[in-house]
Amino acid sequence: EVQVVESGGGLVQPGGSLRLSCEVSGFTFSDYWMSWVRQAPGKGLEWVASIKPDGSEEYYVDSVKGRFTISRDNAKKSLYLQMNSLRADDTAVYYCVGSSWDCWGQGTLVTVSS
């Protein structure tokens, strides 16, 4: 059975940092691109970042470039999102997505507010 479990969300002040984690089981993690997608309250889906299976390439939406870093540990079957200089408009549920975009976690809520 495939499981994708995110953690690390919470309330953070503007300008602060947070690190999201995602643990995967049930598919060969090291074979697949992994991604983060977010959804602001009441809004649609927004792709945030993706990373190649071996970690050698990363891609980001413009609004997070220079502030967010995606990384992975294939030995631990884990994906990460380091988020720095957080802003109010980063408030969203963050989903970890893997395999061929058919494996989604339940999401972790990040709230940026003073």
Partner 1 sequence: EIVLTQSPDTLSLSPGERATLSCRASQSVSSYLAWYQQRPGQAPRLLIYDASTRATGIPARFSGSGSGTDFTLTVSSLEPEDFAIYYCQQRSNWPLTFGGGTKVEIK
Among 36, 105, 108, 112, binds partner 1 (CB under 8 A): 105
For residue 5, give the H/E element and its range: strand 3-7
Q: What ranges make up the beta strands (E) of 8-99?
A: 10-12, 18-25, 34-39, 45-51, 58-60, 68-73, 78-83, 92-98
Torsions phi, psi for 96 (to 5 deg): -95, 130
* Contacts for 83 with CB less than 8 Å, ≥ 6 apart: 17, 18, 19, 20, 64, 67, 68, 90, 110
**Residue 47 engages partner 1 in binding (rule: CB under 8 A):** yes
Among 7, 17, 28, 100, binds partner 1 (CB under 8 A): 100
CB of 10 to partner 1, least distance (A): 19
**Residue 27 engages partner 1 in binding (rule: CB under 8 A):** no
**Residue 45 engages partner 1 in binding (rule: CB under 8 A):** yes
Q: Which is nearer to partner 1, 13 or 63 (CB)?
A: 63
Q: Which is nearer to partner 1, 96 or 112 (CB)?
A: 96
Contact positions vs partner 1 (CB under 8 A): 35, 37, 44-47, 50, 59-62, 95, 100-102, 104-107
